[in-house]
Structure 1
């Protein structure tokens, strides 16, 4: 099968690279399974297992799809979708907060993500764990935050509040600018704390080294997290996840690999019992359930449905509930 993966970014990924990381590993696994992969991506991209076509902003997207392609895999919904004459699917990676209808062939990245849009069409993200260094299960006295520090829904402030209630521990802040505007707005009490160590935007071996030092991910998000690569990367390194029960978290985090609550005090108390979690089990759980081979096989099932002339959703997905509050509950 000739598969075209479309994403308006540069591959391979640099630093964190959420969607870029996912589509890179998806294409790599599809290639290993015997398919031909072409990427339609930004100039500057390169790939050693598939063909690269650079997006031409002076042409409409449908004009840039080669004739030899069997199916197109978009990673956002293009404006000229109605002009596409090839079978296609669209992976929705993020959240919307409006009643706009999505395309029939939309795929979400978790069960909860799909259900919030009246859909049951989803594929979990997966990573190629062979590209990651070996986990260290002898943890030190630190935890980590992994995400865009300046993004309020990721709740860095809540993570800091939690760590400040724990003795003899500190928080490694991985993601975003080293000194973001949001961090500055927290005030000196947060910004200058010796319990918080801002590492800035890190990737590759540097990020892996920090995850290998950590005893757990503190992840009290204030929105319905669609999936969360930070979750599965942390689990791979034997880190249990302590967060809020929003979005995909309850389906990704069971009692053996983490703890979820809307209350800071309950999360603090559970973190004090981090030793009750089996680091090796957390690693094996991520390895087995969230790998890129599983992801590729699930997407091939979606491709097959569309190539057979069927739709992935009986009705156009549409968000069931508009979120009126800026942030979800956390106290």
Structure 2
């Protein structure tokens, strides 16, 4: 089949870019299976395994869809309902109770349930982007991975927990002096900041880490950083919000909303099996599994079915700005 994947940003992602990487991995896997893939994305994009068309949000969407496309896979809103069969992946949270499209797919079971849906596809990584991890190396620190300027990601809490566990922490996605959301200075020498990284530099830091510390204070829709870290043999120590309980079981991590409990658990980090963490990702969260399920949903709509019985809608607006973290 000919799949048109639509997003309003540039591919490939060089450093930060969750949705961009997900749609890249999906398209690559579809092409490897013999499907024709086209991207309708922002100017400046390129791709060796698919056609690239430039998305123009000022023009009617359907005029930009090639005639031979079988299914449209939207990853953001467009200015008219596709005339071709389509699905829409909702990648993020929202705080409005408005009806979403009947063919909306979410990125975790929890994410879907919060909108009254059971249609979801877990994101999956392409192992080729990460290489073969070294699982028997000496590791002396832990890491945080995420946009540290985003307060719900709780880098402040991660630094606190690392200090309590007496472990150095390397922060990928943050800087020591942050002016994006008010002036925030981090003086502790226990924290090492690397800014936004991608590719081999990011992979090397993760591959030398004992564990991934992720005490988020919101309902994480999915969290690619979780899967990336596990791939490199890093167990995950995090809060039990959003998708975390369905991604992190007791074999590959520990969940709690209490900093003391997380710090104490980190003291036993070496009890986790790095190989088990790595194999867990390959078995459950690679682009192979992601592609399988999207193909199932593509065929559902091609057969005239909708992906939800009723239009999904956020069931409850979160009243607290930040979820509990002690």
Residues 15-164 of structure 1: matches in 2 within 5 Å?
15-81=15-81, 84-137=82-135, 138-164=137-163
Report the Cα offset of residue 164 of structure 1. Answer: 1.1
* Corresponding pairs, count: 325
Report the Cα offset of residue 115 of structure 1. Answer: 0.5
Report the RMSD for the aligned CA atoms in angstroms. 1.3
Contact 2:2–2:37 (Cα < 8 Å) also in 1: yes
Is the deviation greater in 158-167 or in 234-243?
158-167
* In structure 1, distance between residues paired with 2:178 and 2:9: 23
Contact 1:147–1:175 (Cα < 8 Å) also in 2: yes
Contact 1:97–1:322 (Cα < 8 Å) also in 2: yes
* In structure 1, distance between residues paired with 2:195 and 2:300: 42
* In structure 1, distance between residues paired with 2:117 and 2:47: 33
- Note the alpha carbon deviations across 1:137-182, whole angstroms, 9 max, x for none: 2242111010001001100010011011122x21101014563226
Deviating 4+ runs (over 3 angstroms): 176-179, 182-187
Unaligned stretches of 5+ residues in structure 1? none
Contact 1:40–1:52 (Cα < 8 Å) also in 2: yes
Contact 2:70–2:84 (Cα < 8 Å) also in 1: yes
Contact 1:224–1:247 (Cα < 8 Å) also in 2: yes
Report the Cα offset of residue 62 of structure 1. Answer: 1.9
* In structure 2, distance between residues paired with 1:203 and 1:12: 12
Contact 1:154–1:220 (Cα < 8 Å) also in 2: yes
Q: Which residue of 1 aligns with 2:225?
A: 230
CA change 1:177–1:11 in 2 (3 A) is farther
Contact 2:139–2:208 (Cα < 8 Å) also in 1: yes
Counterpart selection for 1:253 from 239, 244, 248 = 248
* In structure 2, distance between residues paired with 1:170 and 1:201: 19
Q: Which residue of 2 aligns with 1:293?
A: 288
* In structure 2, distance between residues paired with 1:79 and 1:327: 33
Report the Cα offset of residue 78 of structure 1. Answer: 2.0
Report the Cα offset of residue 186 of structure 1. Answer: 4.1
* In structure 2, distance between residues paired with 1:273 and 1:177: 28
* In structure 2, distance between residues paired with 1:328 and 1:219: 14
Unaligned stretches of 5+ residues in structure 2? none
Is the deviation greater in 50-59 or in 302-311?
50-59
Report the Cα offset of residue 16 of structure 1. Answer: 2.6
2:300 counterpart SS class:
helix
Q: Does 1:328 align with 2:326?
A: no
Counterpart selection for 2:304 from 301, 309, 316 = 309
Contact 2:37–2:51 (Cα < 8 Å) also in 1: yes
* In structure 2, distance between residues paired with 1:54 and 1:182: 31
* In structure 2, distance between residues paired with 1:181 and 1:286: 36
- Note the alpha carbon deviations across 1:87-139, whole angstroms, 9 max, x for none: 00000000011111100000000000001100000001001102212212224
Q: TM-score, normalised by structure 2?
A: 0.97
* In structure 1, distance between residues paired with 2:232 and 2:53: 35
* In structure 1, distance between residues paired with 2:72 and 2:177: 40
- Note the alpha carbon deviations across 1:173-225, whole angstroms, 9 max, x for none: 101456322697444xxx12110000000000000000011100100000000
Contact 2:178–2:184 (Cα < 8 Å) also in 1: no
* In structure 2, distance between residues paired with 1:85 and 1:324: 38
CA change 1:217–1:163 in 2 (3 A) is same
Q: TM-score, normalised by structure 1?
A: 0.96
1:144 counterpart SS class:
strand
